[in-house]
């Protein structure tokens, strides 16, 4: 599933490539991909609209339209968004096409069909849609002090907390495991029990794991591709995720995989000792 670095990679490509271009129409090959609104048709709302900005919030991609509306996209598990020239043969699992005045097409593919696109009329409606999301971990306003305040009093384990989009927006299974390893913290540690030094390590670990992912244009384990249909490079640089049975890059002990909160979790038992 694409996480913050993967969506940010797509966003940066789109910002360079499609901002300033105009949407001429939308073809829905699977209308179920449109989560909202039901009426009027999405194509009528966006046709003729210039794309004014490409933004990201958590794992959501947002295209601001000059007329005030916003196109919102969530790729979920297997969604892909490709920017192609018109005439490129259509591949499988194509759910929607956004035609651009430049002659190019934004194509939304999604094998598992969990991904969704939608439209909201203005910034207030967008804020309402995304109101449950926690802070952006790479935003300037997300300081160590803000992170400390959010951790205080939390009784749950760290791993599920990092996956909770209301706690922090954008992390999924890959970057949560990478952040915890960088912080030398076990996934089952109680969030509220961290010392100030451990809180600082986790804060730095989260940001470093995400920043590396963005630098490497995302992690492709199976489905993720950037807007050009290319794989990311970060899977070659992961420290623990899906590296069970291989040596820890710090101490050499074999990385193990366990289930935490129903999710596959990867860690070094020596660098991240479990609570006694
Ligand atoms: Zn280790």
Give the pLDDT confidence of 102-118 residue by residue, as tens digits: 999 999 999 999 999 99
Å from CA of 39 to ligand 1 middle: 54
Å from CA of 6 to ligand 1 middle: 27
Å from CA of 250 to ligand 1 middle: 5
Q: Catalytic one among 121, 148, 263, 269? A: 263
User: For position 276, what pLDDT does the model report?
Assistant: 65
Å from CA of 192 to ligand 1 middle: 24
Contacts of 273 (CB under 8 A, 6+ apart): 186
Å from CA of 72 to ligand 1 middle: 40
Q: What is the mean pLDDT of residues 123-128?
A: 96
- 59 assigned to active site: yes
DSSP symbols for 209-234: HHHHHHHTT---SSS---TTS---SG
pLDDT higher than 90, residue 259: yes
Q: What is the mean pLDDT of residues 74-78?
A: 96
- pLDDT band for position 204 (cuts 50, 70, 90): very high
What is the C-alpha to C-alpha distance for residues 234 and 165, in angstroms, rounded to an integer?
22
Q: Catalytic one among 11, 56, 57, 59? A: 59
Instruction: Work out the mean pLDDT of the chain and round it to a whole number.
Output: 96
Q: What is the mean pLDDT of residues 116-136?
A: 97
- 76 assigned to active site: no
Report the SS3 class of residue 193: helix
- pLDDT band for position 275 (cuts 50, 70, 90): low
Share of the chain above pLDDT 90, in %: 95
- pLDDT band for position 67 (cuts 50, 70, 90): very high
- Total residue length of the chain: 276
What is the C-alpha to C-alpha distance for residues 2 and 225, in angstroms, rounded to an integer?
9
User: For position 189, what pLDDT does the model report?
Assistant: 94
Å from CA of 101 to ligand 1 middle: 53
What protein residues have CB closer than 5 angstroms to ion ligand 1?
248, 250-251, 253, 268, 270-271
Å from CA of 249 to ligand 1 middle: 7
Phi, psi of 161 (to 5 degrees): -65, -45
Q: Tell me the pLDDT tens digit for each residue of 5-20.
A: 999 999 999 999 999 9
């Amino acid at each position: 599933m694409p996480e913050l670095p993967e969506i940010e990679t797509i966003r940066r490509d789109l910002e360079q490539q499609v901002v300033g271009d105009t949407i001429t129409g939308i073809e829905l090959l699977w209308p179920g991909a449109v989560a909202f609104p039901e009426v009027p048709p999405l194509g009528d709302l966006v046709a003729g609209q210039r794309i004014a900005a490409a933004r990201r919030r958590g794992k959501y991609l947002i295209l601001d339209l000059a007329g005030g509306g916003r196109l919102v996209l969530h790729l979920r598990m297997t969604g892909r968004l490709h920017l192609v020239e018109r005439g490129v043969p259509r591949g499988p699992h194509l759910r929607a096409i956004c035609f651009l005045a430049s002659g190019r097409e934004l194509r939304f593919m999604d094998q598992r069909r969990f991904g969704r696109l939608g439209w909201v009329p203005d910034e207030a409606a967008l804020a309402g849609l995304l109101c449950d999301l926690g802070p952006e971990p790479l935003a300037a306003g997300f300081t160590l002090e803000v992170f400390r305040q959010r951790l205080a009093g939390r009784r749950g384990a760290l791993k599920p907390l990092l996956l909770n989009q209301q706690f922090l927006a954008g992390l999924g299974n890959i970057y949560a495991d990478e952040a915890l390893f960088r912080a030398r913290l076990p996934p089952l540690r109680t969030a509220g029990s961290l010392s100030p030094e451990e809180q600082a390590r986790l804060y730095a670990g989260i940001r470093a794991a995400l920043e590396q992912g963005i630098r490497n244009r995302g992690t492709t384990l199976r489905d993720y591709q950037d807007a050009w249909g290319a794989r990311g490079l970060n899977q070659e640089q992961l420290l623990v995720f899906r590296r069970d049975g291989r040596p820890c890059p710090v101490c050499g002990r074999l990385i193990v995989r366990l289930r935490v909160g129903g999710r596959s979790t990867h860690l070094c038992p020596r660098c991240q000792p479990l609570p006694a």
